[in-house]
């Protein structure tokens, strides 16, 4: 019997079209997997059993008539509990959140609903998505499907875990400093932070133009399929880039049984983002070696590889500027939480909000100056290079329920995520691609970064890695 939870979105749609299995069967399998794994991993704040099965039954009837609503009709999907899902509350990991149901969908959710997707549930997030791991006072911590005593990463940790577990092949996450790429790297899944504005967002994030909505999936081909749907315009986001120039699925370059070639691409490989790029956090040697093997595979696929570093400012300057922007946004997001309710907040979130409240408008604009300088630097860099490759994470997943690795001497999550948040500041597309299992049994990943608007190029290179077998991992042992 076919394990429907192991199939890609593209394969599910092909099976519906051929009559091999139905959306109801796929929804039941995804819900059962989610329910079984919830006990050990805690990836969900809400499971929508009856609603999902109603949606799946309606999809099944559309497929029976040969009239699907869109390219994802009947595909089980999950939604990070930062984004609005009509008819349900958005709790944002906060005990102070309103439990009133929303009367509208976020833009990406609306596009999925129009396409006939089946909503399995809402996934866990740290409070207001503020950190690179997933735990919060009201919902607890989300474990890693490869080892539930380790973190799934964050802040889209529940979404990454759901995809890894098989509780739907697709999920919507958000990324303000690495929040789809960090958990994808830790869970062996794929995630893309698109160019800012490629996927519309509403309500606007308190973190401003650092915050992106991104597809999370098991491979690059499914992410392209999802991006084709959620990248369409929505009048509620004035910063949206408008309709994509073409299909992201078409940009993958698949033409036959062989992996697509990358001939003509010039790729920069930066193992550390510069000599001081890690700010003292060294990349684990096994991860460094795995990323190097991934780069070798890109060369075998026809890309020209040049080992070089992008001309970014000193890491401490970049981190300080990011903190100014991020902590100010956190203070703004939680400004309405007062009195006893504020005491229920994540203590770390309260700390950064206090710092954010201390910044002046001049401090904020100075951070924007750093950001604009980084954008100019990377714009010039990508005149010479089509893509940049770095590690996605310098370490594998550490203990669950901690903001930083135990005994590391670190204070904030940004100290162990040096490769991710710089590219939120520059608004570039960046993806996390698996590149092997560490000797500790946990996934490792590389990061592909493109110039702004080159989402298709990032997806093409990632797809080539998947098609060549370089990004495939064994499934996690926790499968429900």
**Over the stretch 164-173, which tens digit does the pLDDT of each residue have?**
999 999 999 9
The answer to the question of residue 477 being in a domain is no
The tens digit of pLDDT for each residue in 311-321 reads 999 999 999 99
Supply the pLDDT for residue 1. Answer: 75
Domain count, the chain: 1
The answer to the question of residue 225 being in a domain is yes
Whether 278 shows a pLDDT value over 80: the answer reads no
Cβ–Cβ < 8 Å for 354, 422: no
Indicate the average pLDDT of the chain: 96
Per-residue CA distances from 334 to 130, 327, 330 (Å): 11, 11, 6
The answer to the question of residue 478 being in a domain is no
The answer to the question of residue 253 being in a domain is yes
CATH number, domain at 81?
A: 3.90.1300.10
Quote the domain boundaries for residue 149: 4-467
Both tokens of 470, joined, read 């370089």
Whether 280 shows a pLDDT value over 70: the answer reads no
**Residues annotated catalytic, as ranges:** 80, 155, 179
Q: Given the DSSP bridges, would you call strands 387-391 and 266-269 parallel, antiparallel or unpaired?
A: parallel
The tens digit of pLDDT for each residue in 33-68 reads 999 989 999 999 999 999 999 999 999 999 999 999
The answer to the question of residue 480 being in a domain is no
The answer to the question of residue 177 being in a domain is yes
| More reliable by pLDDT, 31 or 37 | 31
The tens digit of pLDDT for each residue in 400-449 reads 999 999 999 999 999 999 999 999 999 999 999 999 999 999 999 999 99
Whether 276 shows a pLDDT value over 50: the answer reads no
The answer to the question of residue 37 being in a domain is yes
**Distance, C-alpha 26 to centroid of its chain:** 23
The answer to the question of residue 119 being in a domain is yes
């Amino acid at each position: 019997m076919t394990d429907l939870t192991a199939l890609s979105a593209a394969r599910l749609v092909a099976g519906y079209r051929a009559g091999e299995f139905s959306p109801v069967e796929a929804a039941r399998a995804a819900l059962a997997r989610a329910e079984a794994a919830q006990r050990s991993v805690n990836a969900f704040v809400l499971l929508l059993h009856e609603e999902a099965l109603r949606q799946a039954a309606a999809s099944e009837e559309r497929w029976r008539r040969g009239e699907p609503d869109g390219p994802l009709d009947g595909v089980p999907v999950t939604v990070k509990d930062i984004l609005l899902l009509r008819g349900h509350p958005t709790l944002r990991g906060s005990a102070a959140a309103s439990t009133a149901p929303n009367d509208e969908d976020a833009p990406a959710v609306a596009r999925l609903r129009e396409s006939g997707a089946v909503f399995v549930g809402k996934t866990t997030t740290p409070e207001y998505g503020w950190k690179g791991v997933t735990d919060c006072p009201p919902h607890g911590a989300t474990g890693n499907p490869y080892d539930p005593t380790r973190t799934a990463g964050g802040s889209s940790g529940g979404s990454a875990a759901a995809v890894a577990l098989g509780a739907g092949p697709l999920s919507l996450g958000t990324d303000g400093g690495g929040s789809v790429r960090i958990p994808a790297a830790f869970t062996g899944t794929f995630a893309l932070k698109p160019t800012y504005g490629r996927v519309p967002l509403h309500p606007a994030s308190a973190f401003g133009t650092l915050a992106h909505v991104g597809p999370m999936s098991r491979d690059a081909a499914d992410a392209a399929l999802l991006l084709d749907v959620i990248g369409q315009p929505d009048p509620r986001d004035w910063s949206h880039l408008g309709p994509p120039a073409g299909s992201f699925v078409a940009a993958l370059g698949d033409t036959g049984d062989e992996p697509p070639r990358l001939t003509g691409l010039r790729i920069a490989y930066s193992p550390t983002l510069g000599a001081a790029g890690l700010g003292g956090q060294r990349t684990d040697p096994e991860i460094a070696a795995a990323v190097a093997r991934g780069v070798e595979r890109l060369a075998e696929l026809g890309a020209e590889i040049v080992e070089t570093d992008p001309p970014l400012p000193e890491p401490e300057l970049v981190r300080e500027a990011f903190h100014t922007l991020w902590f100010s946004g956190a203070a703004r997001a939680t400004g309405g939480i007062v009195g006893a309710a504020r005491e229920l907040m994540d203590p770390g979130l309260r700390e950064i909000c206090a710092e954010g409240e201390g910044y002046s408008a001049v401090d904020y604009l100075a951070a924007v100056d750093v950001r604009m300088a980084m954008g100019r630097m990377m714009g010039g860099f990508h005149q010479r290079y089509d893509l940049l490759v770095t590690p996605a994470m310098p370490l594998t997943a550490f203990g669950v329920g901690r903001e930083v690795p135990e005994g590391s001497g670190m204070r904030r999550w940004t100290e162990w995520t040096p490769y991710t948040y710089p590219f939120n500041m520059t608004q570039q597309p960046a993806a996390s691609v698996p590149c092997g299992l560490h000797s500790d049994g946990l996934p490792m990943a590389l990061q592909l970064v493109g110039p702004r608007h080159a989402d298709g190029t990032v997806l093409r290179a990632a797809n080539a890695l998947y098609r060549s077998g370089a990004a495939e991992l064994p499934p996690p042992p926790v499968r429900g």
